[in-house]
Every structure is written in structure tokens, then in C-alpha cells.
Amino acid sequence: MQERLLGGLTALEFLRRHWQKTPLLVRGAVPDIGGWPGKRALFSLAQRADAESRLVARRGGRWSVRHGPIPRTRLARLPRCDWTLLVNGVNLHCSRAEHLLRRFAFLPQARLDDVMVSFAVPGGGVGAHCDSYDVFLLQGSGRRIWRLERARSFAPVPGAPLRLIADFRPEEEYLLEPGDLLYLPPGWGHDGVALSASWTYSIGFRAPRRAELAAAFLDYLHERGFSDRAYRDPDLRPALRPAHIDGAMVRFAENAVRQLRWARRDVEALLGRHLTAPKHHVVFEPPKHPIPRPAFLRNLARSAAALDARTQLLYLDRRFFVNGEDFSPRPAQRRVLARLADRRRLGGAALVRAGLGDLIYDWYRDGYLFLERDK
């Protein structure tokens, strides 16, 4: 099934030939593309605060963007052409989208981001642009033309509400029909225009930026008790040059920076927390009527524990990270927890034998996972 998804290539061949190098078009990669939530369900998601959505419209050469939640009255007044509705993180709300995301498990979970669904009417698109991350574009019902230009330094459209390319010069053009899959490496210019009512399912990938990680690391150090002492100058004298920055203040700032100290374990902790931290709009849904602990542990022994789509569980050596928190299980428990993290579903008997029943129950109470019949 994986080789069909990649046009007959193995995962290793795809990574060597195409990953972050050159696009790949696969005809009929997902022939069973039907059965997704329809227009009404997508419109309903766009109205919710716990889903990221955008309505992109074009009138002539002018673009407009409205960020969600998008009122139902606005969605009801849309014209027949030249607009696109995009909803991110549909895999958190739709099991079929979550299943699609996990078909790309030959790539690290730390890089997998989400499934974005876009519905476009004829002429709809988001303009020529480039992304800083890898993306797979899976065509649902309808048809869409994609024009591509290899990665280079693109000039932006000044003042545009989207990050559009002003000097887009397409070199390749593909017509995608239901089930076709197009992979694009980071930085490639692309412009997709719907020829008919068209659905596109975009599998996106995380690519943390250095500045993003550095800012998160400073927050992490502050949480760990980094000194927050304020500047003091009890021996201050009258200023002869009021606009001049005092040397004592410079020395204070220099000393503050010098006190930044960390070890590799701090970097690992920050990275794991950062990669698993839920996005701002993600809300976990604990069970309304939780099973008492003794009954849950009995059920766990004959069921399977399945991670909720919102849950991110990663590990690094002895350390595990779940939804922005870290912990270090006992040696005998690590192998079992790693299997749960890798597979996202594991027979509960193995978890009980490893002494993880109480932890799994706490995660169940938090809405991090649920029980289902073991296969």
C-alpha cells in the first residue's frame, strides 16, 4: 500500500530521490478517496473556535483573507467562483483524515503536522506562493491545475494579505484528478486553481525555525528559575547626558546573558516539550462520565489503548514527552511505551504487565487516549 502511495517507490527510494529535492506526481495514489465529510461538515468546522480556518477570495487582481471562526451568514453568501475555504487540523476532528495522516508514518512523527482540507469553487485558489515545509497535495473530487517553479529567491507581492509571489514563472503544469498525489519540497513556488468544485487534502510537515526554538528555550530556562532580578542603581548621579545609556546598565545586561547556562538534557527537554505541545486552539475532551479506576484497569487488560488524534507522544532515550510534558519511566516500561508511541495503539495487557495502568488511566481521564476493542 505504501509503494502505491509513492508511485511504486519504497520509502527509502522516495527519501533518496525526492524528499526536499524534487517534486513527485503519483497518479491514482489513493484510489479510495471517497467518503470524506462534505461541504456542510467543512463549513461547520470553519465556524468553530477550536479549528483553524481561512476563507480566501479573489476579485480581479485583488485578494482577501478572512480568518475563522467564520460566521454562517458569511458562508451562506459566497459567490459561485473564485474562493477557497481552508481548514487546518481536520485530522483532529475526522477519523478518516487522521487515518490518512498516519499513512505517512514512514516519516518521523516529530515532523508530521496535520491534514488541511480545502474546498474551492471554479477559479478558487490561494495564489502563487511557496511554503517553508514539505507538503503532499492529495486531490479529492473535482479537478485542479497546479503550476510549479523550482525553489529560488522569490519577490513578494507588496501589501498582499497572503504571502504571494510577484515574479512567479511556472516551469511545470499538472492537472490533478481524484486520487492523484503531488509532493512538493520546501521553497518550490506553486499555484493551484480549481477547474470545478474541488477538494484538496494537504498533508503538511513541521519545520521548527531557529528563532522559534531559541525563544521557546528562553521561556524554558525562565520556568526553571532563571534569575529575574531587576536592574537597580542606588548610587545613581545626576545625568550630564540624559540620552546616553549608562555603562552600568550595559554591564547588567551582559551579566544576565552570561548567566545563561544549559546542558544537552535541557535542550532535549525543551525540544520534546516544544514538539508535543498542543497548538493554541487544541482542546482535549475528557470523558463526561469516566469509568472508575478499578473498572478501567480491568477493561484495559482486555482492550487496546488508542491515542487521541490530538495527543503527541514522542520519546528520546530515557525521556518521554506527551502533550508538552516530560517524564522518565522505569527501564522496564520504556519499551512498551515506545511501542505505544510508534504505533499509536497498543494492546492494554502489555501496558498492565509493565505497571503502566495508573498512568494510562490518568491519560484517559485527561482525554489523551481511549479504549477500544483489541483486534
In a domain, 366, yes or no: yes
For residues 89 and 216, membership in a common domain is answered with: no
Q: What is the CATH number of the domain that holds 174?
A: 2.60.120.650
For residues 352 and 216, membership in a common domain is answered with: no
What's the whole-model pTM score?
0.88
For residues 252 and 343, membership in a common domain is answered with: no
Q: What is the CATH number of the domain that holds 350?
A: 3.40.366.30
User: CA-CA distance, 247 to 105, in Å (whole number)?
Assistant: 55
For residues 223 and 186, membership in a common domain is answered with: no
In a domain, 273, yes or no: no
For residues 197 and 139, membership in a common domain is answered with: yes
In a domain, 279, yes or no: no
For residues 75 and 103, membership in a common domain is answered with: yes
For residues 14 and 152, membership in a common domain is answered with: yes
For residues 182 and 228, membership in a common domain is answered with: no
In a domain, 159, yes or no: yes
User: How many domains does the chain contain in total?
Assistant: 3
**Which residue range forms the structural domain that includes residue 125?**
2-205
Q: Per-residue pLDDT for the chain (375 aa), expressed as one digit of tens each?
A: 677 899 999 999 999 999 999 999 999 999 888 667 789 999 999 999 999 999 999 998 899 999 999 999 999 999 999 999 999 999 999 999 999 999 999 999 999 999 999 999 999 999 999 999 999 999 999 999 999 999 999 999 998 888 899 999 999 999 999 999 999 999 999 999 999 999 999 999 988 888 888 888 777 777 776 667 788 888 888 878 887 888 888 888 888 777 777 778 888 888 999 999 999 889 999 999 999 999 999 999 999 999 999 999 999 989 999 999 999 999 999 999 999 999 999 999 999 999 999 999 999 999 999 999 876
For residues 185 and 219, membership in a common domain is answered with: no
